[in-house]
Amino acid sequence: MHSVSQRFIYLSLSICLAATGTASAIAEDLDKGNDASEAEKSQTADSDKAQRDSPWLLTPTFSVDPKLGRNLGAIAAYLHRFDEASPISLTGASLSYSNTDSLVGGVFADLYWGRDHHRLVAGAAYGEINNEYDDFLGSGKTVKTTDDLQSIFMRYRYRVAGNWFFGGQLVRTNYAIGIPPPEELIADQIGLMGFNATGIGLVVEMDNRNHVRNPTTGSHLVIDGTRYSSSDDQPILDSSDLPEGLLPEDSLLNSDGDFNALRGNFSHYSSLGHWFTSANAPQAVLAIQAYTRLTNDAPVSGYSSVIVPGYTRGNYLGQNSVGGQFDLRMPFTERWGVVVFGGVGCLFGDGIGPDAESQSCGDDLYPGIGAGVSWLLKPESGVVMRIEAAKGTGDNSAVYLRFGHPF
């Protein structure tokens, strides 16, 4: 089952061209042989198309995972541009149901305004999640849980200079170790695995991508630090239902202790020309990502997760995590393409369980790989749909229909 994480706005509905100051850079990346005036004309034509494109989006989602079961849902969203120099904003709602009788709904917003000087992402989710773990927290134990989910998240950033942004974030959530797609906005934004706490933090962001949702060149860096404080000492997950000795008595999943979390995420995008595509198709793109999440004095519920294709978020936890991924995007027509992706992650720091030893990246690595097909659902706005299969070690595997690239 999925964690509280990353699929709430998983849909990464694309947001078209950033500020006009990046127009020449975009033109160079798309066609280095064109001069500046031709690039500006092309961008203007694309902008005119975007204005004619329907602002509404309604689409299904699904996933199949041996740990999560079969999940079916839908997303309804509205796209709107506040001004010509800002990327397209997105607001919407989602609802999903799984064959484990889990039901989750949410609302979300990803907003850009003021000539892209202001950025706000926010969301709220509510639901009941029934989980069946064959390997709970990597312990080898079979565990069933029922979690009530009530979460809100908000992150605001202001452009302070050039491509640099500074802001803050607020999150309030109970413990929910699994959420079906697409309700994973919170984990995507803060790497949070779920617990009963309120967190307040600061965010630094650098973004020189030529496109917010579907970039072909540029880099994106996000560093955030959050202080979490729990005001509820009542267990959200009844530890009496867990196998004896699975967790130490002083590290309940709902620990009422305060703790800190620091997260770093860096992505880079390179255009590969037509090495993997025909001359009539868009250029191939190689995206790479490196990430880490570090915690201090966190309860088990605040630990970091393995984030690698083919693994269920929240199924493998450690005090700290680090990893990397690649995503090769190869269009073969204007709309259709093939994607090949993979990655590896590891956990380090304090282990889980009364007799657990400290973890290190030399002990266990979590590799994963996958492939799929992509479809440019709304070419003018860059909204991408992907159907893909991923495989990790052992029985870790998954099939997804999802929106947006993973990073």
Mean pLDDT across the stretch 158-168? 97
Residue with tokens 């990430």: 291
Q: Is the pLDDT of residue 321 over 90?
A: yes
Mean pLDDT across the stretch 299-325? 87
Confidence (pLDDT) at 60:
87
Q: What is the pLDDT of residues 122-132, one digit of tens each?
A: 999 888 877 76
Confidence (pLDDT) at 145:
66
Burial tier of 231 (Cβ tally within 10 Å: 0-12, 13-18, 19+): exposed
Other beta carbons within 10 angstroms of residue 146's beta carbon come to 14
Mean pLDDT across the stretch 218-245? 68
Q: Is the pLDDT of residue 327 over 50?
A: yes
What would the two tokens of residue 273 be? 């020309």
Looking only at the bridges linking them, the beta strands covering 197-207 and 164-173 are: antiparallel
Looking at the chain, the whole-number percentage of residues with pLDDT higher than 90 is: 42
Looking at the chain, the whole-number percentage of residues with pLDDT higher than 70 is: 69
The one-letter amino acid at 248: P
Confidence (pLDDT) at 135:
59
Confidence (pLDDT) at 264:
97
Confidence (pLDDT) at 80:
92
- Report residue 248's pLDDT band, with 50, 70 and 90 as the boundaries: very low
3-state secondary structure of 176: coil
The whole-angstrom distance between residue 9's C-alpha and the CA centroid of its chain comes to: 8
Mean pLDDT across the stretch 338-366? 83
Confidence (pLDDT) at 102:
85
- CATH topology for 20-403? Porin (2.40.160)
Q: Cα–Cα distance between 146 and 250 in angstroms, integer?
A: 22
Mean pLDDT across the stretch 373-388? 87
Cis peptide before 299 (omega within 30 of 0): no
Contacts of residue 94, Cβ cutoff 8 Å, sequence gap at least 6 = 8, 11, 61, 73, 74, 75, 76, 105, 106, 107, 108, 182, 183
Q: Is the pLDDT of residue 133 over 80?
A: no
User: What are residue 133's phi and psi, to 5 degrees?
Assistant: -100, 125
The whole-angstrom distance between residue 278's C-alpha and the CA centroid of its chain comes to: 30
Of residues 57, 10, 12, 368, the one with CA closest to residue 215: 12
Q: Is the pLDDT of residue 335 over 60?
A: yes
Mean pLDDT across the stretch 278-292? 91
- Report residue 67's pLDDT band, with 50, 70 and 90 as the boundaries: low
What's the chain's average pLDDT?
76
Tell me if 350 sits within 8 A of 358, measured CB to CB.
yes
Tell me if 251 sits within 8 A of 273, measured CB to CB.
no
Better pLDDT: 278 or 205? 205
Q: Is the pLDDT of residue 214 over 80?
A: yes
The whole-angstrom distance between residue 268's C-alpha and the CA centroid of its chain comes to: 16
Segments making up each domain of the chain, as ranges: 20-403
What would the two tokens of residue 369 be? 């790989």
* CA dihedral over 220, 226, 231, 236, signed as positive or negative: positive
- Report residue 105's pLDDT band, with 50, 70 and 90 as the boundaries: very high
What would the two tokens of residue 8 be? 């709430």
